[in-house]
């Protein structure tokens, strides 16, 4: 299994758990929840740089490359959208939106891993 995927899974899981915990405690978005989603975004940026380096060193995407890059670009917008939502609506429900961002990015990472390794789509 790809170390990038494992690290991404950990970052997304920690972010989602922190955000769900804050929402269950009826707290509005705070530095911890917002920074946890920022960590997801930072991971995606590093993941993107790593993917470029992997391709430049002739490690090909075994699936459709356009699909992989489309998922990555879309995933980059998910934490940004959740962040803006949490800034505009400062209620505990925004923490659920922040948690959904971590979970959504995890699912997208899983699919990107399948595309990179050439596993057929579901």
Element (DSSP H or E) covering residue 74: helix 65-88
Residue 122 has pLDDT above 60, yes or no: no
Report the C-alpha gap between 95 and 21 in whole angstroms: 9
pLDDT tens digit sequence for 64-90: 999 999 999 999 999 999 999 999 999
Report the C-alpha gap between 100 and 95 in whole angstroms: 8
Report the C-alpha gap between 115 and 117 in whole angstroms: 5
**What pLDDT, on the 0 to 100 scale, is given for residue 121?**
54
* pTM, to two decimals: 0.91
Rg (the chain; Cα; Å): 15
* 3-class SS of residue 25: coil
């Amino acid at each position: 299994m790809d170390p990038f995927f494992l690290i991404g899974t950990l970052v997304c899981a920690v972010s989602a758990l922190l955000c769900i915990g804050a929402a269950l405690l009826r707290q509005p978005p705070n530095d911890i929840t917002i920074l946890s989603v920022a960590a997801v975004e930072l991971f995606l940026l590093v993941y993107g740089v790593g993917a470029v380096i992997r391709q430049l060193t002739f490690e090909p995407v075994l699936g459709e490359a356009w699909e992989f890059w489309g998922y990555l670009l879309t995933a980059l917008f998910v934490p940004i959208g959740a962040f803006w939502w949490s800034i505009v609506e400062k209620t505990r429900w925004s923490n659920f939106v922040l948690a959904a961002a971590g979970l959504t990015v995890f699912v997208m990472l899983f699919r990107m891993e399948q595309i990179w390794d050439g596993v057929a789509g579901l």
